[in-house]
């Protein structure tokens, strides 16, 4: 069997690293994407000692900048003839309002623009696979969120939690829209559960301690939290399944708002306009 190539963003920690470890056991060649080369080196050592699979490349990229994501996609296209799976996982929340040097609010830029640009730029090379897949890590935090098109970059107001929830709603809408627009590549989206990771690591003290306390009490382990990411990336059971939302390896419904086709198009156009403007 021809070796399969998978790109995993945010593979230096948390759910992304847990997924990378398991996928390496299945014999995939993995392109790990992260912003911190020291953590990248450590992730590679961890994976090799876990599975013995040395087919690993590390791509350094700060995914909060559209230009960087474009350049990452060029590096990936130079390195591989085909990509079988793109696992868009990197993301997080920012305590304070941060506007990137490209003029985008950082949570929106990292969590949504990054997924959009990498997926659309790699779509051709993923189509080269006979089982090409894109897997997007979203969150049930999207439930209750609505996209305020006048506040995409927190022009009117900023809330760390709202920015995060809206970005995760956009992940889902973008998935549904891309699935509708083409049938060469399967694209699905998932909720990993409440998982004990570093996700609140850059948050303020109160949020950080509440999340950490809650995590110890109620959260899924990182390995369990990676279950749907691994399943959607590698299982034959979901070959050809597209445009669906998963939790614990089962299809579930996303929020009512997430099924508005009008919003799918609006989110697509919004991201496409920023992409065209910035690269
Ligand atoms: N944990 C949960 O309870 C939970 C619940 C629902 C959804 N999720 C989603 O799960 C995904 C993974 O989160 P996690 O919980 O595993 O968090 P995590 O432990 O903080 O891992 C996030 C990963 O993304 C990377 N990353 C963040 N911003 C980046 C940037 N600008 N450029 C490049 N890499 C960047 C991090 O790199 P560094 O190692 O350099 O920080 C890290 O490798 C996210 O999309 C998150 O929204 C998590």
Q: What is residue 221's DSSP assignment?
A: P
Distance (Å) of CA 100 to CA 10, 65, 67: 19, 7, 12
Residue 72 and residue 59 in contact, taking contact as beta carbons nearer than 8 Å: yes
The angle formed by the CA atoms of residues 75, 152 and 34, to the nearest 5 degrees, is 30
244: helix, coil or strand? coil
Question: Of all residues in the chain, what percent carry a pLDDT higher than 90?
Answer: 90
CA of 151 to the centre of ligand 1 (A): 23
Residue nearest to atom 8 of ligand 1 (CA): 139
Q: Of 185, 166, 130, whose CA–CA distance to 263 is shortest?
A: 166
Quote the radius of gyration of the chain (alpha carbons, Å): 17
* Per-residue model confidence (pLDDT) at position 10: 98
Residue nearest to atom 37 of ligand 1 (CA): 10
* Per-residue model confidence (pLDDT) at position 206: 54
DSSP for 114-173, written as a single string: HHHHHHHHHHHHHHTSTT-EEEEE--GGGTT----TT-TTSSS---HHHHHHHHHHHHHH
Q: Which strands, in side-by-side order, build the sheet including 5-9?
A: 56-60, 29-34, 5-9, 85-88, 133-137, 186-191, 245-247, 250-252
For ligand 1, what atom is nearest to the CA of residue 168? 47
pTM score, whole prediction: 0.96
Q: What is residue 205's DSSP assignment?
A: H
**143-151: long-range pairs with CB below 8 Å, 24+:** 143/254, 143/255, 144/255, 145/169, 145/255, 145/257, 146/257, 147/173, 147/263, 147/266, 147/267, 149/266, 149/270
Residue nearest to atom 36 of ligand 1 (CA): 10
For ligand 1, what atom is nearest to the CA of residue 219? 3
For ligand 1, what atom is nearest to the CA of residue 64? 31
In words, the CATH class of domain 5-278 is alpha beta
10-49 per-position pLDDT tens digit: 999 999 999 999 999 999 999 999 999 999 999 999 999 9
Residue nearest to atom 28 of ligand 1 (CA): 91
Which regions of the chain are under pLDDT 50?
203
CA of 1 to the centre of ligand 1 (A): 32
Residue 133 and residue 190 in contact, taking contact as beta carbons nearer than 8 Å: no
Domain residue spans in the chain? 5-278
Q: What is residue 103's DSSP assignment?
A: S
Ligand 1 interacting residues, C-beta cut-off 6 A = 10, 12-16, 34-36, 39, 62-64, 89-92, 110, 137, 139, 192, 194-195, 197-199
CA of 13 to the centre of ligand 1 (A): 7
90-125 per-position pLDDT tens digit: 999 999 999 999 999 999 999 999 999 999 999 999
For ligand 1, what atom is nearest to the CA of residue 90? 24
């Amino acid at each position: 069997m021809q070796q399969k190539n998978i790109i995993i963003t945010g593979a230096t920690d948390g759910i992304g690293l847990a997924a990378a470890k398991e996928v390496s056991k299945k014999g995939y060649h993995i392109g790990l994407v992260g912003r911190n080369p020291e953590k990248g080196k450590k992730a590679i050592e961890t994976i090799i000692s876990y599975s013995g699979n040395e087919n690993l490349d590390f791509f350094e990229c700060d995914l909060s900048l559209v230009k960087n994501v474009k350049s990452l996609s060029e590096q990936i296209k130079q390195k591989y003839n085909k990509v079988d799976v793109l696992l868009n996982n990197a993301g997080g929340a920012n305590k304070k309002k941060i506007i990137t040097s490209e003029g985008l609010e950082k949570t929106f830029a990292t969590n949504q623009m990054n997924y959009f640009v990498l997926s659309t730029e790699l779509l051709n090379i993923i189509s080269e696979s006979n089982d090409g897949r894109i897997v997007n890590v979203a969150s049930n935090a999207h439930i209750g969120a609505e996209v305020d098109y006048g506040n995409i970059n927190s022009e009117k107001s900023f809330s760390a939690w709202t920015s995060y929830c809206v970005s995760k709603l956009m992940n889902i809408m973008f998935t549904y829209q891309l699935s509708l627009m083409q049938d060469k590549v399967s694209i699905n989206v998932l909720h990993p559960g409440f998982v004990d990771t570093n996700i609140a690591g850059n948050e303020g003290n109160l949020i950080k301690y509440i999340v950490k306390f809650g995590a110890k009490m109620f959260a899924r382990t990182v390995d369990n939290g990676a279950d749907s990411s691994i399943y959607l990336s590698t299982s034959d059971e979901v070959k050809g399944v597209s445009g669906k939302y998963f939790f614990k390896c089962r299809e579930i419904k996303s929020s009512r708002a997430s099924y508005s086709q009008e919003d799918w198009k609006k989110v697509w156009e919004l991201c496409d306009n920023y992409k065209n403007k910035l690269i």
